[in-house]
Structure 1
Amino acid sequence: MRLFRLLCPVIGLLFAIQFNAHAQGYVIEKTTDKKVTPIAVDSSDSSTEALAKIAFNSHGAFRLVKPSSASAVIKLTPVGGNQCNVKVVSGNPAQVLFQDTATGDSANNATLRACDMAVKALTNAPGYFAGTIAFVADRTGGKEIWMGDVFFRTAKPVTSDKANAQRPYLTPDGRTLFYRSYMHRFSDVYKQDVASGRRTVFAKYKGTNAGGAVSPDGQNVALILSSPGNSELFIQDINQSRKPRRLTTNRYVEADPTWSPDGRRLIVTSDMAGGPQLYEIPSQGGVPSRLPTNISGYCAEANWNPVDASKIAFTANMGGGYEIALYEFGQGAAKALTSVSGNAMEPVWLNDGRHLIYTEEARGGATKLVILDSETGKRTVITPSNFGNASQAAFVY
């Protein structure tokens, strides 16, 4: 459950193709955007080809077709246990546009890294396929933090205490995890080493402790602490060598911190205007400034684009439900990126600055993670159909 709702509840294309690989379901919604490039994927190894097709089908810039109809063919050849050769060819006779070998920590990871190389060669933008996600799942009976690859091939729990873990954040190198938990009945923020599983309490002050968003340089953590009497924004250095530094001092509720790509600014949700809206504040302190989203009386859960600092994705209440919206500095009112039958919420940008992962909630309450292409509107469900509920994603590459 999102922090602002916990603290302030009263203010609160055409057709689909189903892919089934290793008992995992991925629903791909087609787009009519004319900028989509028809490509084909080819490999002598069936599992490599299947994974690559799932990956490319999630990317809004591509459409899988037969080789005879493709503008480019991505040829993948596994090499040993953790390498994959990738070759991008085009034309008749075929000409090699790009060729390289990717090394990963497994055969699947090498395949995804090879596919990311092909994305870079074809679009001049980074691929996100080999990224890592952390998220909340209740598959083991309680809300726990899970981690794995974007396509759930390696997903596994990293907490197992049934203490209602929430809202994971990862350091830029993916080695450290921050999250909120009720392990001792109260809301505290924990810091956990991903490799060893070693966990320490990072914020355990009187009242509510939340947040955990890590600065782009990996040196500071944005926290929401209610120890002053109401929820305020604080900055704590990651090694806790000094006391948290307070950035807001008011009688309102702050929540959902997110950092600008250069680490000089943050955006938080606050009810200064009577309902939750987005406010920008310098990371060294200053007067919060409201973002003129002008789209809804409820705007929360902002996430700053890591590539284009002019773009902010957030959750907006629209038409009785929640949708993912996009605000661009200097471009007027925000616009909705989704239109779902249930709720779309908790957006997080991927490393290409084009795609996001968000939580989609059905009217019955079931949740799943979805990749959204902010340019074409293409949506791809990445949570396997037999996995159970998944929400609150974090992403690093």
Structure 2
Amino acid sequence: MKISTRATLSCSIDSAWEALHNPAIFRAVSAPFTVFADQPGNPLPRRFRPDTDYTVSVRAGGVVPLGNQTIHLVDDVADWTSRVVTDTGHGTSGALGLLRDWHHRMSLVARPDGGTDFSDTLSVRAGLLTPLLWLALRVMWSWRGFRLRLVTRTLDPSATAAWNARYAGKGAMWSGKVNPVLEDVFSAHSPGVAIDAGAGEGGDALWLAQRGWSVTALEASSVGIYRGVHEAAQHSTDSGDPLDIHWRVWDLEEPWPVASGGAGAVSLQFIHTDAQARKKIWEHAIDAVSPGGTLLIVGHDPQDGLAGIPRPPADMCFTEEQLREAVPGDWSRVSTRVVARTQNIGGEDVAVHDIVLEATR
């Protein structure tokens, strides 16, 4: 017997992936048809670990005992856009022990609009009871899909929805080219581990990876990352050389999913926020730089805005002095400068200026 449901989730594939490994969401999407309880002295963790057995007791409607069930997740990640979780667990006692050949497969595919396509398939045999179970499981699986759509609506950071809205309807937000200051600075560096924070559609991450860097690309917009992933895949197809880029949908104000002091290059290009958010982001960036590593921060010169050039509000920009003050005093080198360049605005080439920090830990 096979039962399948499909749903479109209003969250990034990163958020959906975490949801499938979250025991609290596992319980929420199954209730009230089945209610899962921890085993005495062996509570479920905050996140299911792959290839690990977890045992729960199950009650129908929270009342009728069905026996115990083992949960055992196996992860299969093809790339950022396509992932599968298979639950190879099975019933171990009571009515659940009558179920044979249990195979539960949950697949996720990233969508270009930033959402995620979800497919949920159960294959199971229960001998003569199989026809009787079909209707009950069919209703339960439809309910799971409905509940998961509701639960996942609120999983993405607020910044993800805001940036996805900005990307909507645009073929490309950015040029796809590497930022010139980043190219100038890191062309002289030997490749290692790099973090591209606020990666956009991946132009800088691709440039770094093409030169041998192992890159973690952090970006709030799942639409932006989707485009970057496909650009990287196209490069790999054309060149036969896969790029080492780890993509993550991430709110940069939250602690970064990287090792402290583990990156030889950390880049923040044109990330303009309020002062409170900026302080958090800069602190995470500083913490991520390895001894001898380089921190590069580039932003729009607030003086451009005063000259009538379209720029973020003045309180979202920063000065050379603010950059210098943010870097710890024990770093070996801290350099700031203003860099002039030309930008096409409204069909006219205009002289603009960027504030640059280059610091070595």
Query: Same fold by TM-score, threshold 0.5 exceeded?
Result: no
TM-score by length of 1: 0.21
Whichever of the two has the greater Rg, that structure is 2
Q: Which has the higher helix share?
A: 2
TM-score of the aligned structures, taking structure 2 as reference length: 0.23
